[in-house]
Each structure stands twice: as C-alpha cells, then as structure tokens.
Amino acid sequence: MATTARAKHWADLLAEEIIRQRGRSHVVNTGITPSGEIHIGNMREVVTADAIHRVLKAQADACRFLYIADTYDPLRRVYPFLDPQQYQDNVGKPLSEIPCPCQGHPSYAEHFLAPFLRSLERLGIAPTVHRADQLYKAGAYTETIITALRARDQIRRILKEETGRETPEDWSPFNPICLACGRLTHTQVMGFSATEQTVDYVCACGQRGAVPMAGGGKLTWRVDWPARWKIFGVTVEPFGKDHASKGGSYDTGLRIAREVYGNEAPHPVPYEWLSLAGKGDMSSSKGNVLSIHAMLEVVPPEVLRYLILRTPPQRSIKIDPGLPLLQLIDEYDDVEAQNRDSRALELSAISGISPVRVPFRHMVTVVQVAQGDDATLVEALQRGGYRVENLEGLRQRAAYAQRWLETFAPEELRFRIQAQLPTGVAELTLAQKQALQLMGERLRAEMSGEEIHQLIYTIKDELGTKPDLVFKAIYLALLGKTQGPRAGWFLSTLDTSFVKRRFAEAAA
Ligand SMILES: [Zn+2]
Ligand SMILES: [Zn+2]
C-alpha cells in the first residue's frame, strides 16, 4: 500500500468542479474536422473527453458523450497529400460532398473519418457519432440558423467586441452552398425567409437563387459551435488551445450562447498540443504528424491512453517513439508495482485486456531471440524467469515489440543471433577469449539474468580487464556486432548449451 497520499487525478478534480458548477446531468462533446488524416495529436481531445465522461458517468446522475465530425466544413485548400488536378475544383465545397482520394469511401470526409472511428473502437472509446452534414441536412440546425440570421447585427457586434476586428458589411452567420458551383465559401446572403426556411444568395460564380436552411449551407464556425451547444445541451467540452485564446472562438461562442441562444457555454477544458520529439507540435499542415494507426501498431491502446491521461490537459506532451516510448510502455506495466499514477492507469484500462508483466524492453530482446517462433518465445521468457500465464496477451505484446523494432527502434537495440561463428571474433584479444572461455565453463541453465550479470563482473575482476571489453566479446561471439541488449538478461533468454558451445568456439 502507498504510504503517501497521491494528488487527485485531474479528471476527478475536473468532474468534481463540473458537478459543483453545473449539476448532475452532463453532455461531453468533442469534434474534429476530417479534412486530412486524423493524427495522434487530435487524439488528445477524444481521450481527454472519454476520461471526463468515465468519471462523470460514475459520479453524476447521467452523462452522454458525443463526437461530432465536421463533415460539412469546406475543403480549405489543396493539401500537399492531394492530387492538385483532382482537387483544385473542390476547394470551397463541403468535405461530405467531395470524392474520396482512394475511391473506396463514399466521400472525402468519410475517407479520413473511417480509420479514425476504427481507432476509437480499439481505444475503447465509444461516443455517439454525429456527422455535421447529416445534422444540417436533417434540419437539426434550422432553428439555430433562423435565430442567428435574425441576430446578425448582434453577432457582428459580439465578434467585433471580442476579436477587435470588424466583419465585412455583407457578413452573414450562414454560408449557403451555391447550387451551381457547390462552394460555400463564395456565396453572399441576400435575405431569408423564416417561414419558408430558405436563404437567398448570390455567388461569385454568377449564380443566384434560394437554398433550404436544411442542407443548403452551414453556419460559420464561430456560430456553428454555440449552435451545437444549444442543440445538444453540451455542458463540457475539451478543445485545442487555439480556440481558447483571448478573442478566440470559445470567447465569442460563450457570448453568442448567452446573448443569442440563451444558454450557458460548456465548461471549457482547453488542452495543450502533443509534439513529436525533434519535430515540434504536430499539425497536418506541417506534415510532422504521427498517425493514430501507426502508433497503435507499436503501442497497445491502453498504453496510448495512459500516455495522454497521466498528464493534465494544460500541459504539453512530447512523444518520442524511439527509446522513450519503450520506457513509457514499461512504466505502464509497472504502474501498480511502483505506485505511479494508478488512477491514470484505471482510466486507461480497456476491458478484456490484462497486463502481461514482462518489461517491454525485455520483450524487445526476446522477440529477436524467438524470430517469430512461439515455442522459442515461451522458452526464452521462462528461461528469463517469467511465468507464462497469459499466452495470448504475451503474443500480442510480442507483436507490438516486433513492429516497434521495425519502425522506431534505434539501431543499437536491433540484433540477430548468428547461426555460425561470426568472423569478427578474429579480432578478440587474449583477455576477451579468456573471458568467453570462463563464461562458457561457468554458465548454468538455472542462472537468472541478475546472476549471469554478476558472473560477468566476477570474471572481469579475475582477469583484471574492463567490463565493456567482456560485453563486446559476448556480443561479437553471438551477434557479430559490438553492441547488444543488457548482457546478463539477454544470455538468460538463450539456450545455455548453445551459448556454452559458442563461447568455447570463439575462445579457441
Ligand atoms: Zn477513400
Ligand atoms: Zn457558385
């Protein structure tokens, strides 16, 4: 048991505050625009929301969790990953109305949304998913559109007061989708009818006409957001710090919510960015993103949750998929033993997944010894002193370790046991040969990694040589290179008679 009291987890503190301020019935909302690959940086929003939802569900009377995909947002420009020929004409059209880049999805929006929703499932995150285009087309926004069009001048004043910038004279909170060119970025509102529920417009392409409020356009982002709060009764929402800046869309949204829609803005949970080590804050436009899919190939989903949840939203997170990632996975497995952030661990748990209790670093060694053979994997783990109870879990971890090795591992952690005596042993000094000779004689199958480690140190003392020379000799004889995994533990995973034979051969 812990002797010191831990500080409460941020999600518990936040939930207490939200219940105190906003009562016992909640709607947690999130929203991401599927204009490009939804990356690991975007993930923070839904993982943060999911943790808050889990706590509120346990402590309040009711809690709903929504994810609204901004499928009705226009394509802003031809991104570097798009074919300019195919997409130039689609700039300004809603993402839901543009063809998908691979031709395998019903729309551009769905192309990026589908893999994200699959990742959510793997992460054990199950919000009610809405697509903005469907909400608009079904008329869910119509009432808020009428209210906004009527309050145009009032909204303009709020925007001016909060942002310090004047909107153009012909500004409208509603952007009609031109019936001729399909763009919602070049239209101008000329009037509207609340009874007909239509909006009159002219477009830069020369077209003029009337569109229905349901499916004929969308509210501009700064009004769309508070309209969404009104429609769904949102009480809590995490969002990127860009929206939280002074005069940002939360500030204007809060006033539009209160003064135009007559409801309270959600409790804000602004979060900091995730950055990629050596590459800065992740952003699709900078091209330095790590895809959720790539990350879930090498990190178990519960560890990815833990990576995000152990840090409060207002602090930035730096992801280094090399060695630090390996340490993080070990920290996750060790959390209970070392009493690290056990609450973050609880909030990261996904049902049906139990810890395997083999350090990931060791797994990285063992999979390279096993080379894809399950029986060898189990033997190597058992020789290393690990009990094999959860074979399926171990197999999964082994697969993660293998993919991590292939994708992110630094060169010094990669190795291959050489079937033949490597030619490099010709360079061994007399002292190194003597060390291998003694190792070969004294090594016993029942020795633990720690004991073999001690043996290496005893032998180097007896020979009066430096430890790294002994380590180099061991690696050269087995791997044909001068670096390798921590020698004692590494040797403990190998077949002892093979190692004894090899060392004798190298010393001869
Ligand atoms: Zn596609
Ligand atoms: Zn047009």
Q: Is the pLDDT of residue 165 over 80?
A: yes
Greatest Cα pair distance, the chain, in angstroms, is 97
Whole-angstrom distance, CA of residue 176 vs CA of residue 183: 8
Ligand 2 center to 222 CA (angstroms): 23
The DSSP-derived string for 330-386 is: HHHHHHHHHT-SHHHHHHH--TT-----S-HHHHHHHHHHHTT-HHHHHHHHHHTT-
pLDDT for res 328? 85
Ligand 1 center to 401 CA (angstroms): 30
pLDDT confidence tier of residue 359, bands split at 50, 70 and 90: confident
**Over residues 447-473, mean pLDDT:** 95
pLDDT confidence tier of residue 282, bands split at 50, 70 and 90: low
- Look up tokens 């204007």; give the residue: 252
Q: Is the pLDDT of residue 1 over 70?
A: no
pLDDT for res 3? 41
Ligand 1 center to 110 CA (angstroms): 7
Whole-angstrom distance, CA of residue 99 vs CA of residue 293: 23
Ligand 2 center to 471 CA (angstroms): 72
pLDDT confidence tier of residue 216, bands split at 50, 70 and 90: very high
- Look up tokens 């060694």; give the residue: 365
Whole-angstrom distance, CA of residue 187 vs CA of residue 178: 7
Beta-sheet pairing, 217-219 with 174-176: antiparallel
pTM of the model: 0.88
Q: What percent of the chain has pLDDT over 90?
A: 76
Neighbour-count burial for 248-261, b at 16+ CB within 10 Å, e otherwise: bbbbbbbbbbeebb
**Over residues 160-172, mean pLDDT:** 96
Which ligand sits nearest to residue 37's alpha carbon?
Answer: 1
Whole-angstrom distance, CA of residue 327 vs CA of residue 361: 8
Whole-angstrom distance, CA of residue 268 vs CA of residue 260: 19
Whole-angstrom distance, CA of residue 197 vs CA of residue 172: 16
Which ligand sits nearest to residue 183's alpha carbon?
Answer: 2
Whole-angstrom distance, CA of residue 222 vs CA of residue 250: 8
Residue 134 is encoded by which pair of tokens?
């469907």
The kind and range of the H/E element at 203 are: strand 198-203
Length of the chain (residues): 508
pLDDT for res 259? 98
Ligand 1 center to 101 CA (angstroms): 5
User: Over the stretch 123-156, which tens digit does the pLDDT of each residue have?
Assistant: 999 999 999 999 999 999 999 999 999 999 999 9
| Lowest-confidence pick of 125-139, 206-220, 382-396 | 382-396
Pairwise pLDDT comparison (357 vs 403), residue with the higher score = 403
Which ligand sits nearest to residue 109's alpha carbon?
Answer: 1
Whole-angstrom distance, CA of residue 367 vs CA of residue 374: 9
Residue 345 carries which side chain, given as an amino acid letter? Answer: L
pLDDT for res 339? 52
In whole numbers, what is the pLDDT of the chain averaged over residues? 92
- Look up tokens 């803005």; give the residue: 265
pLDDT for res 97? 98
pLDDT for res 275? 84
Which ligand sits nearest to residue 104's alpha carbon?
Answer: 1
Q: In what order do the strands lie in the sheet with 280-281?
A: 280-281, 274-276, 317-319
Which ligand sits nearest to residue 92's alpha carbon?
Answer: 2
Whole-angstrom distance, CA of residue 305 vs CA of residue 313: 13
Which ligand sits nearest to residue 187's alpha carbon?
Answer: 2
Which ligand sits nearest to residue 105's alpha carbon?
Answer: 1
Ligand 1 center to 103 CA (angstroms): 5
Helices (H), 77-195: 84-87, 108-122, 132-137, 142-150, 152-163
Ligand 2 center to 200 CA (angstroms): 13
Whole-angstrom distance, CA of residue 9 vs CA of residue 51: 11
Task: Determine the angle formed by the axes of helices 249-256 and 221-232, rounding to 10 degrees.
Answer: 50
Ligand 1 center to 417 CA (angstroms): 42
Whole-angstrom distance, CA of residue 243 vs CA of residue 249: 5
Q: Is the pLDDT of residue 353 over 70?
A: no
Ligand 2 center to 202 CA (angstroms): 8
Whole-angstrom distance, CA of residue 175 vs CA of residue 188: 7
Ligand 1 center to 85 CA (angstroms): 17
- The protein residues having their C-beta less than 5 angstroms from ligand 1 (an ion) are 100, 102, 104-105, 111
Whole-angstrom distance, CA of residue 476 vs CA of residue 425: 6
Ligand 2 center to 89 CA (angstroms): 12
Ligand 1 center to 53 CA (angstroms): 31
User: Over the stretch 29-69, which tens digit does the pLDDT of each residue have?
Assistant: 999 999 998 888 889 999 999 999 999 999 999 999 999 99
Task: Tell me if 2 sits within 8 A of 339, measured CB to CB.
Answer: yes
* N- to C-terminal Cα separation, the chain: 54
Ligand 2 center to 294 CA (angstroms): 40
pLDDT for res 6? 67
Residue 239 carries which side chain, given as an amino acid letter? Answer: F
Ligand 1 center to 111 CA (angstroms): 4
Ligand 1 center to 113 CA (angstroms): 10
SS3 per-residue string spanning 39-106: EHHHHHHHHHHHHHHHHHHHHCCEEEEEEEECCCCECCCCCCCCCHHHHHHHCCCEHHHCCCCCCCCC
| Lowest-confidence pick of 74-83, 170-179, 323-332 | 323-332
Whole-angstrom distance, CA of residue 210 vs CA of residue 58: 48
**Over residues 176-193, mean pLDDT:** 98
